[in-house]
Amino acid sequence: MAVMNVNPTRMELTRLKGKLRTAQRGHKLLKDKRDELMKRFLDTVREVRALRAQVEEELMRVHGSFTVASALMSGPAMEQALMYPKQSVELDMTFQNIMSVNVPRYEFRTRTKDNGDIYPYGFANTSGELDDAVEALGEVLQSMLKLAEIEKTAQMLAEEIEKTRRRVNALEYVVIPDTEDTIRYITMKLDENDRATTTRLMKVKDMLLAQAIEEQKARDARALEQFR
């Protein structure tokens, strides 16, 4: 803890008390934000784990389908069949605000709505297993895009949690304690000044009282002389 380098005045004391109230309110709000971010982050991590397992399973199925297709077709034939895709994909990105964090939202759409356009070849010279592999790959694309979206969200939430945690700690362990120590220091100094001023006033009062008593004695003595 440290006392700030300030002048111990009542104006400064009022300013610091206002700063302390603001810091305490900010500390509570940031703690609430941190707790809510942690809750959202943990929910997102659980969703990432579940979706990742699903995507890995689907990719294994796609890999298996392509392996079977490769065994039934020659390499050049498969390469030629997949060389010129008919379908294209457009990706749109928007943002959603989660506790002041703008996380991305991905949405893709195909150029055409015809499901048959995912096959960039004719069916005469290819195997049915290749059809299954291409169809499975098209289906897993949406899951992969969703996984990328959720993983990015988890990353951004983690970064915001760390920033919020540092702010909470700075307020809790530096700003608020230092401000409280400075307020106590200024209050102590002002109390000392008040006591010193009171002591001086009492001494002045005693001196004035003693002077008044002496003057009264002198007047009484002169009056007594006149009666003699």
Domains within the chain, CATH numbers bracketed: 10-181 (1.10.287.3240)
- For 100: left if phi > 0, alpha if psi spans -120 to 50, otherwise beta; the answer is left
Q: Which residue has the higher pLDDT, 150 or 137?
A: 150
Sequence-ordered strand ranges (E) for the chain: 89-98, 101-110
Using 50, 70 and 90 to split pLDDT, how confident is the model at 62?
Answer: confident
pLDDT on residue 213:
83
pLDDT tens digits, 85-111: 666 677 788 898 988 889 988 887 766
Check whether 78 has a pLDDT greater than 80.
no
* Highest mean pLDDT: which range of 81-90, 111-120, 134-143: 134-143
Q: Tokens at residue 156, please?
A: 């951004």
Radius of gyration in angstroms for the set of CA atoms belonging to the chain, rounded to a whole number: 41
pLDDT on residue 154:
94
Q: Tokens at residue 4, please?
A: 């700030």
pLDDT on residue 79:
65
pLDDT on residue 219:
77
As a whole number, mean pLDDT of residues 201-227 equals 79
pLDDT on residue 128:
66
Q: Cβ distance 107 to 91 under 8 Å?
A: yes
**DSSP states along 112-138:** S--GGGG--S-SSSS-HHHHHHHHHHH
Of residues 62, 112, 123, the one with CA closest to residue 88: 112
Distance, in Å, from the CA atom of 151 to the CA atom of 46, rounded to the nearest integer, reads: 11
Distance, in Å, from the CA atom of 127 to the CA atom of 69, rounded to the nearest integer, reads: 7
pLDDT tens digits, 153-175: 999 999 999 999 999 999 999 99
Q: What is the mean pLDDT of the chain?
A: 83
% of the chain surpassing 70 pLDDT: 82
If one counts every other C-beta atom within 10 angstroms of the C-beta of residue 221, the result is 9
pLDDT tens digits, 8-55: 888 999 999 999 999 999 999 999 999 999 999 999 999 999 999 999
Of residues 87, 88, 89, 65, the one with CA closest to residue 78: 65
